[in-house]
Chains A and B, each alone.
Chain A
Amino acid sequence: MTTATQNPFFTMFPPNLSAFAPEYEGFMQRMAAMPRVMEIAQKVKVGATPREITYQEDKMRVLHYESDVEKKYRTPVLLCFALVNRPYILDLLPHKSVVQQFLKAGFDVFLIDWGVPSESDRHLTIEHYVRSYLHNVVKHVGDYTGVKKISLLGYCMGGTLSAMYTSIHQDLIKNLILMAAPIDWSDRESLLSTWTDPKYFDIDQVIDTFGNAPPQWLQGSFAMLKPVANLIEKHLGFYERMTDEKFVEEFFAMETWTNDNIPVAGETFRQFVKDCFQKNLLVQGKMRIGTKTIDLSRINCPILNLMASKDHLVPCGQSAPFNDLVSSRDRKSMTFPAGHIGLSVGSRAHRELWPKVCQWLAERSDKD
């Protein structure tokens, strides 16, 4: 007969097994919460702020958000997200929504949804996105609201595109806000910069083979930037707090977004990796999109550069140099203790950072 003391597994436990009683109780509570967890997982609704589509071109759509709050400013805000992942991260949940922050402050808010590129979109270049799509959207928002100049907020790669656009069409942009936007890739702190080194990464081979940058591959790469946090700690944290309904809702909302990856148009991805990550042409004033050379010094509107000090994707060193490259007199940086995504969905960011951003923008927008 095998006793507890003879079983090698039990020798690993402390003599007083009763110490594990609360743990067992907690486990049972979590198991009891499972049906509710499943229910929340199915019901969680992301990007729920009411909106209408005011412009559509190919797969791109422009969402105009509705608000009960009285509009205070004539200058609308256009939110431009990256081509990687979905834009509803800016309107994840009602209490974690950048869109709601601007609406509550009295702004008219528009968001670009780039859509999901298909195989036939593999030839779309940065020029198409900046000089065609983004330009048409800016003109549309101006026409729709009856103003000549709008405020543009670009997040992550969307920030890079917004900076490029503003340098070409400064006459249409009143204020520019960049949010964790990579501009200078000479900073090699991010693992992405190491991985995209031309010595180890042949972007031509990838795009020639796949056409578009595959979403699973992008998602895997992003997860591997922080393997312990993304593959272990996240799930452990969920297990520990799965009886907290608010946490569970937020967790599943984030998971929905994280797993909702989309491909990036092949030629755009190729150009972005080559010209930005590998050659760092943007800060040198040598980046060309079509016939235009991007010269950031042409930007002279008020600038707000938002950075996250714990950003592992776009370290501050990649964003901070932007303010020195523009000729704007009114330029400001805000560094917030958050991660790349925490900047838009973090509770603390919504409590402390976004009211300040709205205030900054309010001071520079035309009143209604």
Chain B
Amino acid sequence: MPNDKQPQNPAEFFTEFWTDFMSRSGAASESSNGSGVSPAFSPTAKQMQQMFFDAMAKYAEEFMRSEQFLTSMKQTMDQSLKFKQLVDDFLTKAQRSMQSPVSADIDDMASLLRGIEERIFERLGRLEEKIAAVEEQQRSGRDAEASRAKRPSAPSTPNKSKSKRKPKRSR
């Protein structure tokens, strides 16, 4: 047996809910502010509004994490990407048939230039390293020479090796 209180038209549920909601918020604002604050911006209405939005935000986030949403997101994206690829292919073919350069050609050229640039930089980098190593060697050589020059001259005792070599050379 159907409930006598239930409205016959299902849309009336909706109207009833909003009528009730508006009456309550209107009455609440009337009672809460005698100072002429607009009912829509009264603290009570604001609070209700915020609660409503918070609930909406919470459910929206839960929905956007759900398997259903993620699956539909993937399907939509796959379809739209396929469509774009089809359009791009069509435009490319049309432009090629008119002997016009297409973005893929420019892209290839840019990629080629980047490749060349990278190889040059790589070689320059290697050259820099080599030069740095040579400079370091030179510097250390100069330092060693300088330290030898600065070192106080050896005591008057004759160098044994030198004294030995001389007679050898003379031979």
Chain A contacts for B81, CB-based, 8 A: 205-206, 209
Please report whether the interface of chain A is mostly helix, strand, loop or mixed according to DSSP. Answer: helix
Nearest-Cβ distance from residue B43 to partner chain A, whole angstroms: 13
Nearest-Cβ distance from residue A213 to partner chain B, whole angstroms: 13
The answer to whether the Cβ of B94 comes within 8 Å of any Cβ in the partner chain is no
* Contact assessment for A200 and B74 in the assembled complex, using a CB-CB cutoff below 8 Å: yes
Please report whether the interface of chain B is mostly helix, strand, loop or mixed according to DSSP. Answer: helix
Of the listed stretches B24-32, B130-138, B140-148, B158-166, chain A binds B24-32
Give which listed residue, A23, A195, A229, A232, contacts B40 with CB less than 8 A: A23
Of the listed stretches A41-49, A86-94, A98-106, A115-123, chain B binds A115-123
Give which listed residue, A8, A13, A209, A233, contacts B88 with CB less than 8 A: A209
The number of chain A residues with a CB under 8 A from chain B is: 38
The answer to whether the Cβ of B95 comes within 8 Å of any Cβ in the partner chain is no
* Contact assessment for A14 and B30 in the assembled complex, using a CB-CB cutoff below 8 Å: yes
Chain A positions 74 through 102: 1 when the CB is less than 8 Å from some CB of chain B, otherwise 0: 00000000000000000000000000000
Give which listed residue, A11, A200, A229, A233, contacts B19 with CB less than 8 A: A11
* Contact assessment for A209 and B85 in the assembled complex, using a CB-CB cutoff below 8 Å: yes
The answer to whether the Cβ of A1 comes within 8 Å of any Cβ in the partner chain is no
CA–CA, A224 to B88, complex, Å? 28
The answer to whether the Cβ of A258 comes within 8 Å of any Cβ in the partner chain is no
CA–CA, A25 to B36, complex, Å? 10
The answer to whether the Cβ of A69 comes within 8 Å of any Cβ in the partner chain is no
* Contact assessment for A16 and B57 in the assembled complex, using a CB-CB cutoff below 8 Å: no
Chain B CB within 10 Å, residue with most, of A26, A211, A228: A228
Chain A contacts for B53, CB-based, 8 A: 228-229, 232-233
17 sample A-B contacts, Cβ–Cβ < 8 Å, listed by A number: A12-B18, A14-B26, A19-B29, A21-B36, A26-B38, A119-B110, A123-B110, A194-B64, A195-B64, A195-B70, A195-B73, A206-B81, A209-B85, A211-B107, A227-B57, A227-B60, A232-B53
Beyond A22-B38, A209-B85, list 5 extra A-B contacts (CB 8 Å). Answer: A8-B15, A20-B40, A22-B37, A23-B41, A122-B107
Q: A residues near B, CB below 8 A? A: 8, 11-14, 16, 19-23, 25-26, 119-120, 122-123, 191, 194-195, 197, 199-202, 205-206, 209-211, 224, 226-229, 232-233, 240
